[in-house]
Structure 1
């Protein structure tokens, strides 16, 4: 056998042996260069729960009409104006009330004059007249009694007749009866009539004073001043079949709110969390917020309170319940306004320096997670153990090491 033939035979046998070794010694799939690979790495896993919310003022003052009855608006402060406490916000028509006030002031003055006249003139004069009559009749009775005694003495001497004595006795009895009537009238006048007159006059004066004070209060209520400083916001109302803001010429009833003054220095974000996600949120969690009006703005805050009562949300099925979420806005941005929409990214979990694998690299076999691991020559499917996850990555608890390459699906 020639040396050249032996050499060719040895090379062919070596190649076949190498191929047989790889076929029998590795159960994985041959590597293909078209796979998208990514290295298993360590990093921070941030799990976020995202909710739509509305910016609100934590504190706001509601402005309402204190005018009793209906009032017509004649002046209004401009909506959106930055106001200070004490600034005029609105004024109602007061012409009719001012005319009524003049009438009530006159009635009060008359009632006051009447009470003063009774106390200082009418009652003292009546009492004086009664006392004078009483004194006069007392003197008359005393004189007639003395005359009666004299007549009796003269009758004993047959100077006057018995009939004259009887006439004098009747006259004395009549005067005594009239004296008793005057005494009784004086007593009843002092005890009942004059106190009743005073009471009526005082009641009339009190009623006139109350009516006057109410009218003055009503007049004051025709002008509304800002109870606090802030941004003036009109509150939509149902007016004449429309749902709109107040205008000059509209009428308001008592205690009807028509403006609010939110405190822009202390804003919060209010969200509604579906009940099946309630376990993801709790007080104290950090929150990142992104106002839809200013997408470039990122605000930070903290979950302050999670609602305790499940409630329905307008526009959603009634069987679906939500819990309110109150989030503080710790950053200041003077462009923010109550009513703006914002996305809240609630940081449900933040794990540092954990092993991460992309979600796209994980497949599920019989309900268990697997990844395809790439070594220099072969791809091997491997079962792994996962922990928390976010939108892009899983936390790997077991089954992979740092820098191992996995294939993206």
Structure 2
């Protein structure tokens, strides 16, 4: 048997080349599989304008509404006519007509009372004038004349006494000289005594007239005048009351036809006197406390909504809003935030849920036939950016309390922390962490890498080995 000589076994060079090629192909295939992603699941970081909106829903309410009631306080009246409910009325249109039969009868009686009171005023005025004339007669007429005559008589009587006394004194020396007889002197003395008695009587009569009779008659005439003046004033007051009552009845008659003071929608009120409750109708007897018709001003509406506690800082009065009404899907209404509540409120049934603040949006005037209680949605413009760095909201995830974006890199996918600003329904503003033109995943990838380690090696985390805590959840803008 022939023996093979000892020799060293050598691998051909071409085999080594083939093996190197195979290794490169496998490495390239692995690298390709690592960085290849579906383009439909990625988005580019780009710059552009951004309008941030806050969306809220609520109920339409009229900016103002007027409830019309019966003007007949303290009495019942029957409804004889009603405007159809749901009808759009203009200012001056008839809403309600009440029965006026009883008022008409009262009006006729009031008119008769006015005529009678006018006659009584005329009679009282005549009597006052007569009393005034009587007082004038006492103070300036016959009464004054009687006083003057009395004083004149008294003066004449005093003058006669003085004349006779002087004559008596002149006759006494003549008697002593014998020029006259004693009888002639006695006759003069008798006349003097008689004139003195008459003067005393005239003086007493004058005192009675001047100090007693004339003042008493003046007082009586003044009192009668005061009584007649008071009677006249009372009669005039009664006449004025009668005229006021007549005017009130006329006004109430006119008010029994109730007209719309503003444009709005006719809404019937519930009839309080019915069991079970129902809306009013023709034939019901109502009082002043019963609401008849409410007219909401539908061309000026408010949206009553609310905003969460986390978003209330983004809203302020004066912000523009676009309102969409559920009943009119194609209708877009403009408006502005009119009021933001000062205090938060929570549901009575769920007090520990998210607290909310009242939000009032005032709609601009519109010809659309809006109705109270309609559901509506408001998109409030809370911020605008003219040249912001933008990314779809779906590309941002929350991981362990931090916002991250999954950036597509040549060597893999990097979970990079980011800071965000304003957001819209689809886009979010990137404040830091990304640059324009980078590609970002729209979904949470199966694995992610971090920044390259020293030596250029980039550690990878396999999908199956990632814990639930490492998985990101979609970002919810606040």
Q: TM-score, normalised by structure 1?
A: 0.75
* Structure 1 position 344, deviation (Å): 0.7
* Structure 1 position 82, deviation (Å): 3.2
CA distance in 1, matches of 2:90, 2:235: 46
CA distance in 2, matches of 1:257, 1:101: 26
Query: Unmatched 5+ residue regions in structure 1?
Result: none
CA distance in 2, matches of 1:325, 1:116: 65
Q: Secondary structure at the match of 1:90?
A: strand
Say which of 40, 43, 59 aligns to 2:44.
40
Q: Secondary structure at the match of 1:247?
A: coil
Post-superposition CA distance 1:270-301 (Å, at most 9, x none): 3232343211212343322221112x324142
Say which of 77, 83, 87 aligns to 2:89.
83
* Structure 1 position 337, deviation (Å): 2.7
Task: State the partner residue of 1:345.
Answer: 379
Contact 1:93–1:222 (8 Å) recurs in 2: yes
Query: Unmatched 5+ residue regions in structure 2?
Result: 1-7, 165-186, 445-478
* Structure 1 position 360, deviation (Å): 3.9
Q: Does 1:279 align with 2:313?
A: yes
CA distance in 1, matches of 2:293, 2:404: 60
Task: State the partner residue of 2:119.
Answer: 113
Task: State the partner residue of 2:22.
Answer: 15
Q: Secondary structure at the match of 1:297?
A: strand
Task: State the partner residue of 1:297.
Answer: 330
Structure of greater relative contact order (alpha carbons < 8 Å, 6+ residues apart) = 1
Task: State the partner residue of 2:447.
Answer: none
Post-superposition CA distance 1:254-284 (Å, at most 9, x none): 5x65434444444443323234321121234
Post-superposition CA distance 1:165-196 (Å, at most 9, x none): 9xx99x96999566664444223223x22222
Q: Does 1:322 align with 2:357?
A: yes
Q: TM-score, normalised by structure 2?
A: 0.65
Distance 1:44-1:258 versus aligned 2 partners, 3 A rule: farther
Task: State the partner residue of 2:222.
Answer: 187
Say which of 89, 94, 97 aligns to 2:103.
97
Post-superposition CA distance 1:65-114 (Å, at most 9, x none): 43322442422122232333322221222222222222222222222111
Contact 1:41–1:402 (8 Å) recurs in 2: yes
CA distance in 1, matches of 2:38, 2:134: 130
Distance 1:15-1:334 versus aligned 2 partners, 3 A rule: same
Q: Secondary structure at the match of 1:310?
A: strand
CA distance in 2, matches of 1:284, 1:125: 77
Q: Secondary structure at the match of 1:48?
A: strand
Post-superposition CA distance 1:113-168 (Å, at most 9, x none): 11101212x34556678859x9499879979x98xx8xx999x979xx9xxx9xx9
Contact 2:338–2:362 (8 Å) recurs in 1: yes
1:128-207 → structure 2 map (5 Å cutoff): 135=142, 181-190=216-225, 192-207=226-241
Q: Does 1:368 align with 2:402?
A: yes
CA distance in 2, matches of 1:271, 1:10: 75
Task: State the partner residue of 2:441.
Answer: 406
Q: Secondary structure at the match of 2:373?
A: coil
CA distance in 1, matches of 2:52, 2:263: 40
Post-superposition CA distance 1:321-364 (Å, at most 9, x none): 5233223337x452323332201111223335544444444444
CA distance in 1, matches of 2:143, 2:319: 100
Contact 2:134–2:221 (8 Å) recurs in 1: no
Q: Does 1:67 align with 2:75?
A: no
- Range that drifts further, 13-22 or 103-112: 13-22
Q: Does 1:52 align with 2:87?
A: no
CA distance in 2, matches of 1:125, 1:405: 113
Distance 1:369-1:181 versus aligned 2 partners, 3 A rule: closer
Aligned length: 398
CA distance in 2, matches of 1:137, 1:356: 114
CA distance in 2, matches of 1:230, 1:326: 20
Distance 1:172-1:264 versus aligned 2 partners, 3 A rule: same
